[in-house]
Amino acid sequence: MKIFEHPGQTPVQLIDRYEGNIELFMKREDLIHPLVSGNKWRKLKYNMIEAHTLGYNRIITFGGAFSNHVHATAAAGPACGLETIGIIRGDIVEPLNPTLRQASEWGMKLVAVTREEYRMRSDPEFQAELKKRFGNCYLIPEGGTNVLALKGCAEITIGTEKYDYWCVSCGTGGTLAGLLTGLGPDETVLGFPALKGGLFLKEEIKQVLNLAGVSSRARWELITDYHFGGYAKISKELVDFMVDFRKHYQILLDPIYTGKMMFGIADLLKQGFFRENSRILAIHTGGLQGITGIEKKYGINIK
C-alpha cells in the first residue's frame, strides 16, 4: 500500500492578484502522485485500504472510455496487490485509446456494457450479477464517490490557510462533498460541473453527505455555466485559454475538469463575482492523463 503512504500535503501556488485586493491561489493536487493524481488519489486511498483490510483481492469499478477514475484504479490496483475490472460504458474500440490501453497494460480487465446496462450500475441486482460473474469483488462506484471517498477528499483541507472561496471542478460531486466535511461556516465552496445540466448534482451531493452523516457547515453552490456543451466537450476558446494559462503560470490544465473551472473563475473575476479582499483557492484535481485522448479526438495540441 506504499502508493498511499504519501502524507497528502500538496503545495499551494499563488496564481495572481486582481483589482479589489483579490488573490487567486491553486492547490497543486496534480502533484500528489505521477499516476494516481489529484482527487483520484484522495478518493481511492481509503477504498483501497478498506478492500485490503477486508481481504478482497479484486476491485470492480465503472467509467467511460476516457475515465480518469478507471485509469487511476488500474494504476493503484497492482500497487495494492489487487486485481482490477473496469466496466466500460459503450463499445471498446480497437485500437484502444491511450486511457484504456494503459489501463489494460496495468492488468485491468475491460468489460464493455451497453449504455442501457451502464445506467443500472447502482442497481443492487445488477451489482450482484457482476459479483456472481467475476467473483467476490470490492465495488467502487463511478468516479470513486462514496463515504470513504469523502474521508479522503476532506484531507485536502488539512494544513491549509483560510480562504474565502474554495473552487473545485465536479464530475460526481465527491470531491466537493469531501471539502464540505472539512471546512467551516466562514468559507464558501464553489463547484464547477463538467457535465451539462449539472444541477442534478446538488441532490447527489446532499445524499452522499447524508450517508456519511455529515452536516455541512460551509456554504456552497454550483456554477453551471462553464461545461462547454457537456462532458469531454471543448471549444477553441477553452483550448486557447489553457495554452495561455500554461504560458503565463507554467501549469498544465486538463480540458475536462480543471481547465473549465479555471476558465470559469477567470470569467467570474471579470464580472466582479468575488468580494473585495477575497482569497480564492482553486483545487487542481489532476486528470492530466486524459489530455492525450482529447488531443487525438479533436486533432488539437494542448501540451
Out of 46-60, 92-106, 110-124, 185-199, pick the least confident: 185-199
pLDDT of residue 201: 92
Q: How many residues make up the chain in this entry?
A: 303
pLDDT band at 69 (very low <50, low <70, confident <90, very high): very high
In the chain, the percentage of residues whose pLDDT exceeds 70 is 100
Of 79 and 6, the one with more pLDDT: 79
**Structural domains of the chain, ranges and CATH numbers in brackets:** 2-34+147-298 (3.40.50.1100), 40-144 (3.40.50.1100)
Of 297 and 240, the one with more pLDDT: 240
pLDDT of residue 216: 79
Given a cut of 80, whether residue 185 has pLDDT beyond it is yes
What is the signed CA dihedral for 118, 119, 122, 126, rounded to 10 degrees?
-60
pLDDT of residue 198: 76
pLDDT of residue 197: 81
The string of pLDDT tens digits covering residues 256-265 is: 999 999 999 9
pLDDT of residue 22: 98
The string of pLDDT tens digits covering residues 29-41 is: 999 999 999 999 9
pLDDT of residue 179: 96
Strands 165-170 and 279-284: parallel
Please state, in angstroms and rounded to a whole number, the distance separating the CA atoms of residues 69 and 25: 25
Given a cut of 80, whether residue 1 has pLDDT beyond it is no
Count CB atoms within 10 A of the CB of residue 282. Answer: 25
The string of pLDDT tens digits covering residues 198-216 is: 778 999 999 999 999 988 7
pLDDT band at 293 (very low <50, low <70, confident <90, very high): confident
What mean pLDDT comes out for the span 270-294?
Answer: 95
DSSP code at position 274: S
Provide the mean pLDDT of the chain: 94
pLDDT of residue 7: 80
pLDDT of residue 302: 87
The string of pLDDT tens digits covering residues 140-183 is: 999 999 999 999 999 999 999 999 999 999 999 999 999 999 89
pLDDT of residue 6: 78
